Structures are given as C-alpha cells and as structure tokens.
Amino acid sequence: MSNPLQDLPLLPSFDRLDPEHVPAAIDAHLEACRARLQTGLYEPGWDTTLSPLDEAHDRLSRAFSPVSHLNSVLSGPWRAPYEAALAKITDYWTELGQNRELYEVYRLLADSPEFSQWPQARRKSIELGLRDFRLGGVALEGEERAQFAANSRRLSELSSTFANNVLDATNAWSYRTEDEAELSGLPDTALAAARAAAESRGESGWMITLDGPSYLAAMTHADNRELRQMVHQAFVSRASDQGTDAGRFDNTPVMTEILALRARQAQLLGFENYADLSLASKMAENSSTVLEFLHNLARRARPAAEREFAQLQAFASTELGLDQLQPWDIAWAAEKLKRDRYAVSQEELRPYFPFPRVLSGLFAVVARLFGVTVEADPSVAVWHPDVQFFWLKRDGDKLAGFYLDPFAREKKRGGAWMDTVTTRRQGSDGLQLPVAYLVCNFSPPAGGKPALLTHYEVTTLFHEFGHGLHHMLTKVDVSPVSGINGVAWDAVELPSQFLENWCWEPEAIEMISGHYDTGEPLPEVLLEKMLAAKNFQSAMFTVRQLEFALFDFRLHSLEQSPSAEEIQALLDEVRREVAVVPVSPLNRFQNSFSHIFAGGYAAGYYSYKWAEVLSADAFSLFEENGIFDQETGGHFLQTILEQGGSRDALELFTEFRGRGPEIDALLRHSGIES
C-alpha cells in the first residue's frame, strides 16, 4: 500500500494518513534532500543547486506539515511520531545551516555580476539565506560547532515538551457538578457546552474545563465566587509546581533549560544575549528601540489603566459588595460594569453572530476588499467532521485553498493560529498553489443551535483569516520569500490585526451578523451599544499585553540564564512597573507562556503591539477613503499581501501609506489620548 506522505498530492490525504506512515516517509524525504544537495554542489548555480534543493525541501515540508498539524489538533497517537520526525528534521536543518559548501554557493551568486539584474524575489531569498547561514552557525568551528548543533536539537525537544505539558495540564483538570445552582450566572450557551462536555466523557451533570470557551465563561459569568476562584487558580497554575496538579506537568525545569540554551546559542554566535540574536531577523533596529517603544506605550496607557481599574474597584465595592477585588473577580466584575454602563454584553450579542453567518460575511468582506471569492469543497478529505475545506478564487480561477477547524475539543491545542500546508512556488511540475490551515477554538454548536460567537471570537476569526490571506494571496513564486516566508516577525501580524478593523464597522457588521433563528440584523440599539463599549477597559488590556512583552524581552535580554526564582522575580518586577490588577499567589503564568517557550515569539512578543501600530495606521487610510474603497483595497493587496517577504516590511508599508508608520491611529483606536 502506498504511503500518502510520500505520494504527496497538493492536499494531504487525511482519510488515509496513519501515524505508522511517518518514519519511512520522513526518512525518505531527508535522504532525498541530502542527495539533491550533494548533486547540486557539483555545479553551483540557482537552477542547478538552489532550485532543485528547494523542491526537495518543499516535499519534506509537505510531508511533515500534516504530521505537525495532526499533533496539534488531535494529539494522542500523533505525538510520538511527530516528536521523532521533528528531531530528525531539526538535525537536518542544523546540519544544512552549517554547510559551508552551500554557503559558498550563496556567496558566489550574491557576488556575481548578474545578481543585480535578478528578479527581486530571488535576490531577497539569497540575502536572507546568507543571513540565516550566519545565524545558523556556519562560521563556528570544532567543539562550538558541535555544541550549537546539539543545543538546536535539544531546544526543539524542549519546545515540544513545553507545549505537551500545557496541553496535558489543561486536559487533566475538570470540575463536574450535578447541581445547576452552582453554575448560577452562566448563560445558556455555556450551560449547554458544560452539559455536552460531561456527556462526552460519559458523565452526567455539567462539567467545567480549562479549554478557552469553558474557562472564559466561568470567569466572566459565574456568580459563585468559590467556583471562580477554583477555576482561576487551576488555570493560572497549569504546568507548574502550584495548584491541584502541582509538579505533575511542571514546565519549570523545561523553561530554565530553554533559556540557558538560548543564551548559550546567542553567545556562540557573538551576540550579547538572545534578544539581540532575535532582532537580527526583525524590523526593530536594536533592543533599545524595542524597550523604548514598549515603555513609551506604557507611559501613555498606564495612567488610563489605573483609572479604569479604580472605577472597576469602586463599582465592585458599591454595587457588588466586593471591598477587595481578587484576580478571579476581575472578568466577572468587569462584565457587570460593562452591562451597567453600556447595557450590553457579549451574551446578548451571541445570537446575532452565528458561525455560518459570520463566515459567509467574512468572505463577503474579503470579496469586496480584494476581489476574491471563497467556495467550499466538501469532496476534500479532512481530519474531523467539524473541519471544512475552501478554495480561494478570482474570476473563477483557483488562487489558493484553506482548511478551517473552528471549534474547541479535547486533545486539541488551545488558542487560534494559521499554519502552512503548501507554499506558492514555481517548480518543475508548474506552479504550486498555497494552502493554509486556519484553526480556532470556539464553543461548538450545542442545544440544537449553531455555534454562536462572541464578538471577540468574531475578531479572532478575522485575525486568523488575515494571516491566511497573507499566505494565500502572494504572487511571489520563490518559496523562501513567498507568502509569510521571509516576512520580518514583528511585521507578520500586520495583515491579521488589519483585518480585525472591519469587525467594528457598521457596514461590515451588517454583512457578518444576523439572528440565528430569525435572520434579523443586529438591532441599531445593540450596534450602538457595542460600538460605544469598544474601548471598554482598553488601557487595562494594553498594559496586560505590555506586561507580557516586557517580561519576554527583558527575560531574553539577560546574559546569564536565570533560575526559576529569578524568572518569577523578573515577572513580579515587570508587573509592578506596568500592571494594575491583582495577581494570585499561585499564578505561574510563565509556565504556560507557549508563545515564547513553544512558539516563534521568543524576544518577539512585542511584535503584537509593534505590528498593531502598522495595522492601525494602514486602516486609517481606509477611514479616509472609505472602508470598502476598491482602489485602497487593491493598493493594500498589491503592496502588502502579494509581495510576501520579497521586500523589507518597512519599505512595503511606506509604499502603501505614502510615509512611515505613526502611532496616533493606534492610540485613537484604543481610546487612549495621544
């Protein structure tokens, strides 16, 4: 029987994939990559070395992509083969990054007289390749060279371990009750989900879990303060030495080893610290630029955040009988204050944002902005009944495709993300279309109703689709700079945050909303309340993001690796500087901070705010010209989405906006005075 990870059609054969397919396929692709490399080195050149090697790498990527993806969305039997394959692939990329013969091919091409006449995408891919060789340790010798390679493999293992511990700790905790009165305050949607969670585990009653929708519902709506405290403390102590599962999935030693190895890698490459190494591939010039940016935002936002929290505390004291707000009271009290001030809640809005309506409205928004249509293709094999596949088209021609996996379930990684199935590239078999995974964790349909989204979840869907458009609408055919490839990490959030803006525009809201039962549009009075409440506690949210960003960047700016106690002390120090809300003594946020310990945001979490400046400023041009102005939409498509990583992010932004980025639009959109 053929191996679908070796046959490699454009779309993975999810109906045939089995964990047993992984070892043989990955070994075969790695062998092919190494053979292509050796052959190519005999006759150095773009067409003879780099293009054939890129084709082999593309096949390796297309084989590993579904394995990595299934480990994230199904876990279970995919974890062991994923980790074994990841170790082999990490070894290969480390080996390749230190291959001096291949490095010399890049140098030869960059120094050739014809180089300046090459297409922009090819030139950029060579420039980035040379940078990555330097960052991959190509200049290292002897013991340092071997140590760098060993560290790279260990870091890959630790990153996977960190993510597994967070997932396992999240899945391990639940609270079941037979007494519905304990869940007083939870809306019908949350109660139905709790009932379904219990039934899925063969239990009666209602079950609260640490999955995003369940946790947020409990923290925002449960009137039972003891329940909120229990759920909150279980959540903030995940994967740590605290809480009910103390030590069972503890990420403390994982975290400290990751930081030690990152610091050592930076030193081996001649950087003072890991933050400096990280910035070598980002827009921001240096560490001072990043810290100045974050502190400047904090200076502007914290006074407003303090006022917001003082108002919340006063309201809680006079109206809710809470003289002292505890961490598990914040979201609950905030929801009460929001209802009191604006007479609107996310739960009131839910019936007007049924998932099918939001999805079709999102596609309509994108069609008006960028002239593309989206069509479902039920014939494509998927990994779960909730998943759908779509084609992105223009004038009837396929441009790209994407899988959408929208709902939370057990053994699925939390959060929301976009990932790559295939990359647009010109190969020996012709043009390969880009395909993406779009993954969210919304509350699934329950109680005979479709999935009803909060407005926050609507913006999440738009955010991930923005990432998807960046990947799918590229016109670049050179894979190292096609789509999101080669884009500076602190600019990669630009298209995603940019698209969120349409969730707040009345003309677009009309397209994405409609009562699940009657189809009636969102009433004008609710719309006005929702828009009035847009910046409710936005300064508190801003300083929370700044807390994460400053902690991450300062942590990776340390020259010596910190102990667990020093990590906690640094986080406490950052909180004293920017935070305004109380923190539970059991809080070990760092132990589940997957963005920086299991994702690509190490010394880069600041990117969310950095890119938000770009996205708000970009959207301000639509505010000036009309939110569906076709010329402006076409200009954004051509200068940002189609260019991928073929040109510097700042250069592309400046071409779109006609000037460099300015922070004013972000402050205005956030309701924070300039």
- Residues annotated as catalytic are 464
Here the tokens at position 294 are 């974050």
Q: 3-class SS at 447?
A: coil
What DSSP state is assigned to residue 470? H
Determine contact, residues 441/88, Cβ cutoff 8 Å: no
Contacts of 425 (CB under 8 A, 6+ apart): 54, 58, 431, 432, 477, 478, 479, 482
Which amino acid is it at 26? Answer: I
Terminal Cα distance for the chain, rounded: 65
Q: Which residue has the tokens 């909060």?
A: 454
The long-range contacts involving 426-429, CB below 8 angstroms and separated by at least 24 positions, are 426/477, 426/478, 427/55, 427/58, 428/55
Greatest extent of the chain over all pairs of C-alpha atoms, in Å: 79
In whole angstroms, give the CA distance from residue 437 to residue 421. Answer: 7
Q: Please report the beta strands in 190-310, taking only residues with DSSP state E, as ranges in sequence order.
A: 206-209
Contacts of 202 (CB under 8 A, 6+ apart): none
Here the tokens at position 259 are 């930081």
Angle at 588 between CA 582 and CA 593, to 5 degrees: 110
DSSP-assigned beta bridge partners for residue 426: 431
Which amino acid is it at 469? Answer: L
Which amino acid is it at 163? Answer: A
Which amino acid is it at 262? Answer: R
In whole angstroms, give the CA distance from residue 38 to residue 257. Answer: 35
Which amino acid is it at 422? Answer: T
Contacts of 10 (CB under 8 A, 6+ apart): 401, 422, 432, 433, 435
Q: Is 557 exposed, middle or buried (0-12, 13-18, 19+ CB in 10 A)?
A: middle
Q: 3-class SS at 374?
A: strand
Which of these, 433, 350, 362, lies nearest to 404 by C-alpha position? 362
Q: 3-class SS at 268?
A: helix
The Cβ of residue 480 has, within 10 Å, a number of other Cβ atoms equal to 23
Which of these, 368, 381, 378, 483, lies nearest to 424 by C-alpha position? 483
In whole angstroms, give the CA distance from residue 570 to residue 574. Answer: 6
